[in-house]
Chains A and B, each alone.
Chain A
Amino acid sequence: MLKQIEGSQAVADVVALCRPNVISAYPITPQTHIVEDLSVIVGQGKLDAEFVNVESEFSAASVVLGASAAGARTYTATSSQGLLLMAEVIYCISGMRLPIVLTCANRAISAPLSIWNDQQDSMAVRDAGWIQLFAEDNQEAADLHIQAYKIAEQTFLPVMVCMDGFILTHAFEPVDIPEQKQVDDFLPPFKPRHIVDPRWPRGIGLYADPRFYMETRYILHRAMEKSEKTIKEVSADFAKTFGRDSGGFIKTYKLKEADVAIVSMGSVVGTIKDLIDQLEEEGKKVGLLQICSYRPFPRQEIYNILKDKMNIVVLEKCISLGRGGILASDIRWSFPRAEKKDRNISSFIAGLGGRNITSDDLRYMVERVEKEPVELEFLGLKKELISDKDL
């Protein structure tokens, strides 16, 4: 049913439709509304689940770890500092192959404190062996959660659904919330592999000495790579069942004929598409490659689609300090070395700590890369706030 609701409410509604058995909750802006809404759904008896108000995100992650190891379908959500506080558990969850679903309402990281949106938080745990899916809008954010459970429970990999804080979590948009029956048909009950149960005593979380550790990492890496297939299948299956495209590996917009290819992910692609339309009217051919699955990284797919594009620009809301654009590095790595010579891949950092990314900013970016490649530039930087002695 189409509902005019807040993004957080949409996520809470579909998570409830996925029938998690255990939800752990800890407040942090801009994630908080999701777990608040879920607490109401559980409180009203509309979802039969244990809702645990924990004392920290560290425990929020540990509770779902324990619950998942005991065979429950689980859910938690966080942002920013909360995700960093979970970091140790995040790695443990993937290492133990627990199919936990977590929403990251993307937010900047301290210091300085900022409650506003960028994507540095989920980037900080990108190497942890979690599938990371980025939503473009609230419909996709909702849809991705339904897919996330299916992907996680087929691959035994945890899934982090990333949605831009405030821009999506607090935006009221029409979102189609499916019927319970549709979700039940799409998402079978969770069948765990190994659980803690006295009927089948086994150890979960044994330690591995140097004879064994490396293989666990190799297997996990291969599982991440192989999950590509599952992500695509589940997304195709979703489209068939629910009648709309959501998720998948990557998406493109007016890319075929484009002279300039913009690569980005998250909600900013909406603004980018608008600009692409405007520029088209002005006779410029600009296209978009939008990444939905950031981990596993769709390297081959990106190569196939962008191999004829000689002017690529990567726009991202995060940075590897002392290195540069994170997504830009991934994109640059997607092309074989010998090809790189005449291909320009520019890197723009934008929207950190909630700085607006305007259509004018994006227009400037396109015009800039039409002239020359850009190694690294902060879009919308206020030079007047920076003095020589700061540098």
Chain B
Amino acid sequence: MNEKAEELNRVEKKDLFASGHRACGGCGQALAARLVHDAAGENTIACVATGCLEVFSSPYPDPSWRIPFLHSLFENPAAVASGVEVAYKALKKGPVNIIAQAGDGSTADIGFQCISGMFERGHNVLYVCYDNEAYMNTGVQRSSFTPYGAWTSTTPMGNKTRKKNLPLIAADHGIPYVATATVDDFKDLQRKVKTALSIEGPKYIHILVPCPLGWGHPGDLTVKICRLAKDTGLFPIFEIIDGKVTNVQKIPVKVPVEEYLKPQGRFRFLFKKGVPTEEVAEIQKIANQNIERFNL
């Protein structure tokens, strides 16, 4: 391996997002945040949205950040990060990594316009979405990233719509780099963060982060559930570089969606006395479509 590839593939542990935060045991988002910032390194500014990450990491007077942290509102980290970026340009400071980051509700719903604006204007900012598939901080309400069939506190009979496909929407803004990742593969996630930060312009990384509380699984299954999300085809892993889908992670052995659904309380009611309902077949269809579409 050459030096550059070696650096890209090295797993970084710097504890820039420090321990001592108040996330639940097994929180996928806390793990992802640590991996993202350790990959980015000290020369980084985190622009964080209101949400679980902000709440469990930034109570005055004990924040968990060893890098500059800026929080303003729920829906504006992309616009705030745009402001930081232009300020650095105007003041002729930098270079610096600027990472705007938020949960799925902030990203896909209420902050969608700000993100689209940031992409379209071409700011040199990495936007990271921590997708736990619901508004967790306010108690597991449905967002437009909540998957079909899932229970949330506002879809008590199961969610009837499919996830909004933001990675593709982001790519269609013409931004140079888009990637998906999960927290079961540290090396892959950190390589993507490093790759993104080496590219000038707006970047988008979408990370699946299981939430034991909201999804109803034991905390020690967080990593395994990520693997199942990939191996069923429900969460395809790929990069989109300059508009072209590449580096699609092939599934070695395809797993039926039931195995992903069963350990999670939010899907439990999709099985009547252990027998899968029609919804499970529908979810399998979604997985199959992903497998076909991305050639997983």
Binding site for B on A (CB under 8 A): 21-22, 24, 48-50, 52-56, 58-59, 62-72, 74, 88-89, 92, 96, 196-198, 200-209, 212
**B36-95 with Cβ < 8 A to chain A:** 42-45, 47, 54-55, 58-61, 63, 65-73, 75-76, 79-91, 93
Query: Of A49, A72, A89, A204, which is within 8 A of B70 by CB?
Result: A204
Contact B79 A206 (CB under 8 A): no
Q: Chain B interface: which size bin?
A: 35 or more
Residue of B nearest to A196 (CB): B68
Residues of A within 8 A of B113 (CB): 55-56, 58-59
Residues of B within 8 A of A206 (CB): 58-61, 63, 69, 71
Residue of B nearest to A52 (CB): B86
Residues of A within 8 A of B83 (CB): 22, 24, 52, 62-70, 72, 74
Contact A201 B66 (CB under 8 A): yes
Query: Of B63, B70, B72, B121, which is within 8 A of A52 by CB?
Result: B121
Binding site for A on B (CB under 8 A): 42-45, 47, 54-55, 58-61, 63, 65-73, 75-76, 79-91, 93, 96, 113-114, 116-117, 120-121
Min CB gap B93→A, angstroms:
8
Q: A59-B117, A72-B90 are in contact. Are A201 and B68 (CB under 8 A)?
A: yes
Contact B121 A22 (CB under 8 A): no
Residue of A nearest to B69 (CB): A203
Query: Of A21, A62, A74, which is within 8 A of B72 by CB?
Result: A62
Residues of A within 8 A of B72 (CB): 62, 65-66, 89, 92, 96, 205
Residues of B within 8 A of A74 (CB): 83, 87
Contact B114 A58 (CB under 8 A): yes
Contact B84 A196 (CB under 8 A): yes
Q: A55-B116, A209-B59 are in contact. Are A92 and B73 (CB under 8 A)?
A: yes
Min CB gap A51→B, angstroms:
9
Q: A53-B121, A55-B113 are in contact. Are A22 and B86 (CB under 8 A)?
A: yes
Having A96-B72, A196-B45, one finds 6 other A-B pairs with CB under 8 Å, namely A21-B90, A22-B83, A66-B72, A197-B93, A198-B43, A206-B60
Query: Of B58, B65, B81, B121, which is within 8 A of A66 by CB?
Result: B81
Residues of B within 8 A of A198 (CB): 42-45, 67-68, 96
Min CB gap A146→B, angstroms:
20
Chosen A-B contacts, 29 in total, with CB atoms closer than 8 Å, are A22-B90, A48-B90, A50-B86, A56-B113, A58-B114, A59-B114, A59-B117, A65-B83, A67-B84, A69-B70, A70-B45, A70-B87, A71-B87, A74-B87, A89-B72, A89-B73, A92-B72, A198-B45, A198-B67, A201-B42, A201-B68, A203-B68, A204-B70, A205-B58, A205-B69, A205-B71, A207-B58, A208-B60, A209-B59
Residues of B within 8 A of A54 (CB): 79, 82, 117, 121
Residues of B within 8 A of A204 (CB): 68-71
Residues of A within 8 A of B54 (CB): 207
Min CB gap A84→B, angstroms:
15
Residues of A within 8 A of B88 (CB): 70
Contact B76 A59 (CB under 8 A): yes
